[in-house]
Amino acid sequence: MIKEMAANKAEAEIRVEKAVKETERLQAMLNDVITMVDPSVQLASLPQNGEMYGVPIALKDNVCTKGIRTTAGSRILENYVPVYNACIVDKLKAAGAVTIAKASMDELAMGGTNMTCFTGPVYNPWDRSRMSGGSSGGSAALVASGAVPMAIGSDTGDSIRKPASFCGVTGVKPSYGRISRYGIIPYSSSLDHVGYFTRSVEDACTALHVLAGRDDRDMTSSYEPVPDYLNLLNSDIKGKKIAVFGNVIEAMQNQETKDMFNGLVSKLQDAGAIVDTFYFKEELMKALLPAYYLIANCEAAANHSNLDGIRFGVRKDGASMEEIMTASRTAGFGPLIRRRFVIGSYGLFEENQERLFRKAQKVRRLIVENAGECFKEYDCLIAPASGSIAPLLNDRSLDELGDDYLIAENHMIIGNFGGFPSMTLPMGFEQGCPIGINLTCRAFEEVQMFNFAKAIEDITGYKDLKAEVK
């Protein structure tokens, strides 16, 4: 755990060396790392004190690291070495953390399986026949296996919170602007959030205190003061009002998950919380995923227009600049990414912007307003993070366009649409695999969110879970 920091440099070196060896040992079974990072330079210049002194960590591979390869899981960036650090890299270094690995991810953070990385799929530590979830699945697997106590992820739709559910860890997506995105290879600028994984709520509090704060290089970062989350942590939820996400519960097909969730809700009531059911407008819930795809992929097409094989990245031969760009992008991007760029480019055509992109933005605003109605009355919105445990790697049975899937598996997008703080933590187990509960609160009310999470953690007892990788 983060709070079990090294007492001195010698202890820090031992802890980091142990983490490196364990990460390398597990790599053959989990495939959760793209690049191992030599910690020796970091250890030689550890600060005298810090909240994460000597703590080994991993970074999702869309986090720029000066002099260290950063691929974003895409073959087109296989040879890209940044000349600067992301803001959070410097913050973590100043706190004494030691980066040992760049974690696998879905290509350019576009996906929910972590099966599209150019290095191959990440395997779930609890059951290697199942996926880790994505796009931050490598980071989630590293924490779940016990290799590191904390890892950075990013979340554009549920890319931290869904892998957290599948891997049995705590996954936090704070408010939009709470953590600087400077130096993070983007997916969708209006939806991207930097977040992280830990194995306890206490560690989640420490991590956010290190990472949060204004950064003038990211104009979307907030001036909001950064509370001392750990010292403010309090699991007393007497009189607090919780909304159960009614649309999600009704859309879910797995009765075992429903029963588990309802049992936890009853215990929250026993702890003094006031629990009701809140229903979003059904037509908005069915429009949630289509609006997300349009907004995210239109922004992605614009953000990644520079990945052309000319300015940087992997270049393929051609007789002209146009041929070089076409060959480089064809070879550099996987099929899922190419499809998403087609959608995004189509939505950005001048004749389509009002009909598609602007309409999706209007739907987004209506969904956020609907969420605002919930938060006028309730302190927290809760639902299972997923309708089931992690799917099998070869599972193609899901009807992703069915109404049940659209709502039950995509509701966490609301946290990105509204910039609300949202997190997932373990709720229970089915077939030996974990499944999580998700909670969402008002913007910049992370203190309250952590308090609810701590109450849940106290009830379930699921703290510092580690998978025994087989």
User: pLDDT by residue (tens digit) across 284-306?
Assistant: 999 999 999 999 999 999 999 99
Asked about 60 being catalytic, the answer comes back as yes
Q: pLDDT at position 313, please? A: 82
Which candidate in 132, 145, 154, 159 is catalytic? Answer: 159
Q: pLDDT at position 7, please? A: 82
Q: How confident is the model at residue 399 (pLDDT cuts 50, 70, 90)?
A: low
Q: At what angle do helices 255-270 and 446-460 cross, to 10 degrees?
A: 110
Are the CB atoms for 60 and 154 separated by under 8 Å? yes
Q: pLDDT at position 22, please? A: 98
Residue 218 to residue 20: CA distance in whole angstroms: 32
% of the chain with per-residue pLDDT over 90: 92
Residue 142, pLDDT above cutoff 90: yes
Q: Quick one: tokens of 377? A: 């009355």
| Collapsed DSSP state (helix, strand, coil) of residue 378 | coil
Sequence-ordered strand ranges (E) for 200-272:
241-245
Q: How confident is the model at residue 397 (pLDDT cuts 50, 70, 90)?
A: low
Q: pLDDT at position 462, please? A: 98
How many residues comprise the chain?
470
Q: pLDDT at position 188, please? A: 98
Asked about 320 being catalytic, the answer comes back as no
Q: Dihedral through CA 402, CA 405, CA 411, CA 416, nearest 10?
A: -80
Which candidate in 60, 93, 173, 240 is catalytic? Answer: 60
Mean pLDDT of 73-88: 97
Residue 171 to residue 207: CA distance in whole angstroms: 11
Q: At what angle do helices 9-30 and 137-144 cross, to 10 degrees?
A: 120
Residue 400, pLDDT above cutoff 70: no
Residue 172, pLDDT above cutoff 80: yes
Query: What are the boundaries of each domain within the chain?
Result: 9-234+423-460
The structure tokens 């969402």 sit at 440
Q: pLDDT at position 311, please? A: 82
Burial environment of residue 396 by CB neighbours within 10 A (0 to 12, 13 to 18, 19 or more) = exposed
Mean pLDDT of the chain: 96
Q: Which of 98-102, 329-333, 397-401, 421-425 is predicted least confidently? A: 397-401
Q: What stretches of 49-146 show up as alpha helix (H) in DSSP?
A: 87-94, 137-144
Q: How confident is the model at residue 401 (pLDDT cuts 50, 70, 90)?
A: low
Residue 162 to residue 169: CA distance in whole angstroms: 10
Residue 159 to residue 121: CA distance in whole angstroms: 15
Look at 102 and 312; give whichever has higher pLDDT: 102
Are the CB atoms for 191 and 416 separated by under 8 Å? yes
Residues in CB range of 256: below 8 A, 6 or more apart: 430
% of the chain with per-residue pLDDT over 70: 98
Residue 81 to residue 11: CA distance in whole angstroms: 31
pTM above 0.95, yes or no: yes
**9-234+423-460: CATH topology:** Amidase signature (AS) enzymes (3.90.1300)
User: 464: left (phi > 0), else alpha (psi -120 to 50), else beta?
Assistant: left
Instruction: Write the pLDDT tens digit of every residue in 98-111.
Output: 999 999 999 999 99
Rg value, the chain, Cα: 21
Q: pLDDT at position 406, please? A: 84
The structure tokens 């909240």 sit at 51
Are the CB atoms for 194 and 181 separated by under 8 Å? yes
Residue 53, pLDDT above cutoff 70: yes
Instruction: Write the pLDDT tens digit of every residue in 255-284.
Output: 999 999 999 999 999 999 999 999 999 999
Residue 196, pLDDT above cutoff 60: yes
Q: pLDDT at position 331, please? A: 92
Q: pLDDT at position 312, please? A: 78
Residue 208, pLDDT above cutoff 80: yes
Q: How far lies 1's CA from each of 6, 27, 260, 277, 344, in Å?
A: 11, 21, 27, 35, 41
Q: How confident is the model at residue 240 (pLDDT cuts 50, 70, 90)?
A: very high
Q: How confident is the model at residue 49 (pLDDT cuts 50, 70, 90)?
A: confident
Instruction: Write the pLDDT tens digit of every residue in 330-357.
Output: 999 999 999 999 999 999 999 999 999 9
Which candidate in 74, 104, 132, 135 is catalytic? Answer: 135
Asked about 145 being catalytic, the answer comes back as no
